[in-house]
Structure formats: structure tokens, C-alpha cells
Amino acid sequence: MSEKIKKIAILTGGGDCCGINAAIRSIVRTAIVKYNYEVIGFIGGYSGLYADEYIEMTLKTVSGMFHQGGTILKNSNRDNLFSYRIKDENGCFIKKDVSDVAIANLKRHEIDAIIIIGGDGTLTSARDFARKGVNVIGVPKTIDNDVPGTDITFGYRTALDHIVNALDALHTTAYSHNRVMILEVMGRNAGWLTLEGGIAGSADAILIPEIPYDIHKIAKKIIDRYNSGSQFSILCVSEGSRPIDGDVTVKKIVDGSPDTIRLGGAGEQVARALEMIVSPITGQEMRSTTLGYIQRGGVTNCYDRILSTRYGSYAVDLVENGFFGNMVAIRNNKMTYIPIEEVVGSGLIGETSLGGKRLVNPQGDLVTAAKGIGIVFGD
């Protein structure tokens, strides 16, 4: 480094998840204890950077928050400062590039580097700021576990715990009433939560976006179980799953958001379709439960606390060594880094990809193992 780093900033964007506070804590403690930096945190994602809303980050600021889900810096998943929604002189909303305002705020605070924690949308803006000369380090965050270039993101394992707990609870009522219980989980276009949660939660069928399903094959599994004496069944269904002859189930469209499509209702759709086929034969009732935002919140588990600590500390090490424009990553349980340009710009893939996301390989080991123990995917 030609100049000593003296002051850094932190920003969290996108959806919340467990482990963000642990990462913030790790960044602040490493910055202060190891490198004697000053640290500030912008409030509310990129909107806070634009509005210059921030707090001083000290060891006291991050004390007692290690276990807490969410983020003390608050999040926003709608604020792209390169296309920001503001009112013009006539009171009408327009989109405008206000990134120079954010950069001016960083310069006014004499920020030498900013660590940005987020998923694909947040990291895309991080890349764009890096292109304009800002010293940026990215930290990947999402419960969906779909960020390319890294083996796992924090928040994922805690979300899995919530899913497995829900499936365990549904088992008892499914057994008691001889019902088919369906749990719809998050993940958007990636099936990691559904796949690993379904396997760990003893689901009989798993429906993921990467494997379009034939509802008749799912129905056959349920009927076969019923006829063999297992008069209940458990299904784990991704919000992004779809039938082979259909499309994803859209709950609503959110104008002004970088990702306008909100998925939801896939579990209920499967329940209604199975009711038409299975119920006349077995007499079973179908019940669908949407786990929703419970997956994101609560107390961060041990794994994610440690993973977040590793991510946060390594991000500060990259700052100290001047490795800007990179995202921290973990591969084969070793910390490393990858250019943000490759993560969000070139469609880098993990197992397989859709629009540059890390998706489940339908022929991979996890799916093969699940099928080997009798779980069906409807393909």
C-alpha cells in the first residue's frame, strides 16, 4: 500500500439474514484491534450512503450483537444509486444516477475503503462503484446460497435450521391426521434451501427450480406410500419450483425494486393439484404451510457465527493489503477472494447457473443421494 489506511466504512444491503451482525462485528473488531482503523457504518444500505446517514462504529457499538440476526445498520433492497428513484421539480418520480453524491460523501468523511455486505444486487452496485474508483471489498450474503465464486454464504445454515425444525413439526401433525403436509421455502431460482432442508427434514418429495416436476409422479409417490401403510407424506417445495408444463408462481410485482417479481404460492399450487389427483383415491387432505420470513430471522447458529467472523476479518485483511475490487470467498474451507467483476459480470458458475447464479446440479451428488433413499423430485 502506498498510503496507510486510516478509515473505512461498512454498508449492508439487500435482504436481511442471520450472520450480518456477526460479520459487522468481525469487521469492526479486526479493523480496530488489528489495524487501528476508524470505522463508520452507513444506515439503510445505499440509501444511507446517498443521504449521508451513518454512525460511528466502535468496539462498544458491536458488543452483545454477535448472536443477533438481521443488521444493526438496517437494510434496503430497492436503492440502486446508479438508477435512483427521486422526485423532479414537478413532483414526479424519475430515475437518476446519484452515485457521485455517494462518492462525495465518502470523500468528505475521508473514507479510504468501504466494505459492502450483500447479495447479487448489492454486489452489482459495489462493482459499479469500483469502476468509478472507489476502494471496495464485497462480502457475499444471502440465505439462498446462490452467489457464484464461493462455496457457501452466511445465513444459509441458520435458515436451514428453521426449515428442518418446521418439517419436524409438520411430521407430527401429518402422521396424526394421515395428511399430506407441504412446506414452501425461500430460495428464488436456487433450490439449495429446499434440497438440503428437505433431505435433513425427511421429506418424501422435494421440488426445486432446477428440476421442473410432473405432478402425476409426485401423486404416485404419495399413493404408493399410502398403499404400503405410510398414510402421510411430507413435501418440501421451493417458492421457485414449477411444473414441467408451467411457470413459477408469482405472488406480486413490486415496482421500484431491482427484482420486481416476488415469488409465492408454489406450495398451495402443488396442494390444489394433488388434491385433484390423490384425494379421490386415498381420501387424504392436503395442507400447505409457507415458512416465509421466519427463515431469515432469529438467533444466528454456531456455523454462521464462525463463517461470518471469517468473512469479516478476511475482508479487512484485503483492505489492509490493497486488494480492492474483490469479493471475499471460501473454497474448500479456505478463505480467498475473487474479482467482483467475475461474480456479477461474467456469469461465473458454481454447480450450474442461471443468469450467473450458483444453482443446484440436477445430476449432482446431493440429488443423487436423495433419489437413492427414495425421495422423488417429479422428474
User: Which residues belong to the active site?
Assistant: 144
Q: Show the CA angle centred on residue 86, arms to residues 81 and 90, nearest 5°.
A: 155
Burial zone of 349 (CB within 10 Å; 0-12 exposed, 13-18 middle, 19+ buried): middle
Burial zone of 106 (CB within 10 Å; 0-12 exposed, 13-18 middle, 19+ buried): buried
Rounded CA gap, 292 and 317, in Å? 36
Contact between 308 and 300 (Cβ < 8 Å)? yes
Torsion angle defined by CA atoms of residues 13, 156, 301 and 262, in that order, rounded to the nearest 10 degrees:
60
Residues, the chain: 379
- In the beta sheet, which residues pair with residue 255? none
Q: Which backbone phi and psi does 216 adopt, to 5 degrees?
A: -70, -30
The dihedral built from the CA positions of residue 157, 69, 266 and 244, taken in this order, carries a sign that is: negative
Q: Which helix (H) or strand (E) holds 38?
A: strand 38-42
Q: Which residue from 80, 149, 82 is spatially nearest to 339, judged by alpha carbons?
A: 149
Q: Which helix (H) or strand (E) holds 103?
A: helix 99-108
The DSSP string of 132-197 is TT--EEEEEB-TT---TTSS--BTHHHHHHHHHHHHHHHHHHHHHHT-EEEEEE--TT--HHHHHH
Rounded CA gap, 60 and 81, in Å? 31
